[in-house]
């Protein structure tokens, strides 16, 4: 439940780095704790490569951890898996029980079971959903592009709006606009997303009839030829503007709801990031020597604030993915969220684990990209102390 508090100016807020890498070390100098960091002044041009490798290794380690988490959670289930899968009568028959256990490897030791589990995962086998009676992996493969379409659109919108509002608030610090934005962003992080979704759906679809109904496309509309899996992008690639507008119209409402959810967080963080930068000497110098405000902003402020803002975008992506789980089912959006919602309410454990794994991997990847971008943006990060 890490509502990340506004980062304090002086030290890296230990509450902030929910970056799943090495926490606070990432920004301040991830290399600090690695033994080879100090012995490398001669091979400095290799440091970026080494930074990348280290991040990748960390990501692999965390990926391993993710499987450990899902595996132990799957084994946590109270009750007899035989009874759950075959029914109580079968579970009472020792012969059937023994065969079932042998078939699913339940008679082996836990470590053996774990390696078998990872082996299955590597082959893309996430088990069969109790609910849809289809392989979880196939269900997920259909759901992921739908969710990505929402998530990318929402992160784009909320980043643009959040940055603009944050910059505005920092610029007008202490004034009315700043106060108002502070209230706005505090409300933004207090609103239950699933509630906003219902209210917006009722208002814009049922009452005002502005928004088209649920789903990704109007009933009867054909999906564009699949290339990326994102309907809007595919329609554009196919040059099919009617389908594009249809897909975009269906996308608008869920994206709006999710943007409302993340924009408060982004506004808050970018405001404090900008404030911190505005205080720095080089920005003051740039202003003092008479550079136009816009140049100062784009060339000095924005660039120096890029790292904390990148961090927040990574964080916001996480809360966005959480948000989709709560929101998609309301809009009938056939993505990971709807799938997780239906699986969770039916306690379809393998399907829920599948969603957890996929989302975990996506989140990990996003944060890996963020980490790698640090290295490119800020030379101090890759060089270390």
Smallest gap, in angstroms, from Cβ of residue 374 to other proteins?
17
* DSSP codes joined into one string, 96-125: HHHHHHHHTTTTS-HHHHHHHHHHHHHTT-
Smallest gap, in angstroms, from Cβ of residue 10 to other proteins?
7
Give the nearer residue to other proteins in terms of CB position, either 79 or 219. 79
Q: What is the largest CA-CA distance in the chain?
A: 86
CB 235 within 8 A of CB 247: yes
Give the nearer residue to other proteins in terms of CB position, either 16 or 235. 16
Residue 331, CA atoms < 13 Å, CB-side half-sphere: 41
Smallest gap, in angstroms, from Cβ of residue 20 to other proteins?
4
CB 371 within 8 A of CB 21: yes
User: Rounded distance, CA 4 to CA 273, Å?
Assistant: 14
Smallest gap, in angstroms, from Cβ of residue 198 to other proteins?
4
**Torsions phi, psi of 135, nearest 5?**
-60, 135
198: nearest Cα among 316, 326, 340: 326
* DSSP codes joined into one string, 317-360: HHHHHHHHHHHGGGGT-TTHHHHHHHHHHTT-HHHHHHHHHHHH
User: For the chain, what percentages of helix, strand and coil (3-state, to nearest 5) are there?
Assistant: 70, 0, 25
Give the nearer residue to other proteins in terms of CB position, either 84 or 383. 84
Q: How many residues in total does the chain contain?
A: 385
End-to-end CA distance of the chain: 32
Give the nearer residue to other proteins in terms of CB position, either 74 or 97. 74
Give the nearer residue to other proteins in terms of CB position, either 206 or 376. 206
Give the nearer residue to other proteins in terms of CB position, either 235 or 330. 330
Smallest gap, in angstroms, from Cβ of residue 269 to other proteins?
12
Six-digit token string for 367: 């944060």
Residue 25 C-alpha from the chain's centroid: 21
Give the nearer residue to other proteins in terms of CB position, either 44 or 282. 282
Smallest gap, in angstroms, from Cβ of residue 7 to other proteins?
8
Give the nearer residue to other proteins in terms of CB position, either 104 or 194. 194
Smallest gap, in angstroms, from Cβ of residue 67 to other proteins?
11
Give the nearer residue to other proteins in terms of CB position, either 235 or 256. 256
* Alpha helices for 216-240 (secondary structure H): 231-237
Give the nearer residue to other proteins in terms of CB position, either 1 or 95. 1
CB 48 within 8 A of CB 382: yes
Region label for 42, one of left (φ > 0), alpha (ψ between -120 and 50) or beta (otherwise): alpha
265: nearest Cα among 193, 111, 158: 158
User: Rounded distance, CA 265 to CA 185, Å?
Assistant: 7
330: nearest Cα among 238, 178, 195, 146: 195
Smallest gap, in angstroms, from Cβ of residue 208 to other proteins?
13
């Amino acid at each position: 439940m890490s509502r990340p508090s506004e980062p304090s100016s002086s030290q890296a807020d230990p509450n902030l780095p929910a970056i799943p890498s090495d926490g606070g070390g990432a920004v301040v100098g991830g290399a600090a704790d690695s033994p080879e960091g100090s012995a490398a002044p001669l091979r400095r041009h290799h440091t970026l490569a080494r930074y990348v490798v280290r991040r990748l290794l960390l990501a692999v380690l965390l990926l391993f951890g993710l499987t450990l988490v899902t595996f132990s959670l799957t084994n946590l289930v109270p009750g007899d898996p035989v009874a759950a899968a075959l029914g109580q009568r079968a579970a009472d028959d020792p012969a059937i029980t023994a065969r079932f256990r042998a078939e699913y490897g339940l008679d082996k030791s836990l470590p053996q079971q774990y390696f078998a589990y990872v082996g299955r995962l590597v082959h893309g086998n996430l088990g069969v959903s109790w609910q849809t009676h289809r392989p979880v992996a196939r269900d997920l493969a259909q759901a992921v592009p739908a969710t990505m379409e929402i998530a990318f659109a929402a992160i784009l919108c909320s980043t643009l709006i959040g940055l603009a509002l944050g910059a505005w608030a920092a610029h007008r610090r202490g004034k009315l606009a700043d106060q108002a934005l502070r209230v706005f962003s505090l409300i933004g992080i207090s609103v239950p997303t699933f509630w906003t979704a219902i209210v917006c759906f009722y208002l814009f679809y049922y009452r005002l009839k502005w928004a088209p109904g649920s789903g990704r496309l109007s009933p009867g509309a054909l999906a564009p030829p699949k290339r990326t899996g994102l309907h809007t992008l595919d329609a554009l690639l196919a040059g099919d503007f009617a389908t594009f507008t249809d897909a975009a119209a269906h996308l608008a409402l869920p994206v709006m709801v999710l943007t409302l959810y993340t924009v408060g967080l982004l506004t808050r963080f970018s405001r404090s990031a900008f404030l911190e930068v505005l205080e720095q000497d080089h920005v003051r110098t740039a202003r003092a020597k008479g550079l136009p405000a816009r140049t100062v902003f784009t060339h000095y402020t924005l660039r120096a604030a890029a790292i904390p803002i990148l961090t927040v975008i990574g964080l916001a992506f996480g809360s966005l993915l959480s948000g989709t789980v709560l929101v998609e089912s309301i809009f009938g959006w056939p993505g990971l969220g709807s799938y997780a919602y239906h699986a969770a309410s039916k306690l379809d454990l393998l399907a829920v684990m599948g969603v957890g794994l996929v989302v975990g991997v996506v989140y990990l990847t996003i944060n890996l990209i963020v980490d790698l971008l640090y290295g490119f943006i800020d030379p101090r990060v890759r060089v270390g102390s």
